[in-house]
Amino acid sequence: MANETDRELTGSDAPAPRPARPERSDGPHRPDDGSRRPYGPRKHFAPRRKVCRLCAEKIAQVDYKQVQIVKSFCTETGKMLSRRITGVCARHQRQVARAVKINRNLAILPYSV
């Protein structure tokens, strides 16, 4: 009897099999679709601190002849990358900027592509 009612209950109560929904973990707005942070100011900054690559490699003076290094601070179109992007310290950014300009003048690096 009990068994039958159980079966009946499950038979009538069984809803259509729902598509598996992911558990709501991050609220109604999820920032996963490419554009992060849909609205509002960001409360916390990422706790990542950029370290100057040149200081880490103990390159005291950036030479314009070190083209591989100097080139790595430029975009493909020949623009210098800003300190904000590369994370280089101010001292090294000045050296890099100078080296880029020298190399442009020597036609080692392009002014623009």
As a whole number of Å, the end-to-end CA separation of the chain is 83
Cβ at position 66, least distance to Zn ion in Å: 14
Asked if 97 touches Zn ion (CB under 5 A), the answer is no
Q: How far apart are CA 48 and CA 27, in angstroms?
A: 25
CB of 35 to Zn ion, least distance (A): 33
Site pattern 35..74 for Zn ion (x: CB under 5 A): -----------------x-xx-------------------
Q: How far is the CB of 83 from Zn ion (least distance, A)?
A: 10
89 binds Zn ion (CB under 5 A): yes
> In the numeric block, which tokens belong to residue 108?
């080692």
The phi and psi torsions of 105 (rounded to 5 degrees) equal: -65, -30
Shortest CB 76 distance to Zn ion, Å = 24
Q: Which two tokens stand for residue 66?
A: 């070190």
Contact by Cβ (8 Å): 99, 64: yes
- How big is the chain by its Cα radius of gyration, in Å? 29
Q: Would you tell me which residues interact with Zn ion (CB under 5 A)?
A: 52, 54-55, 89, 92
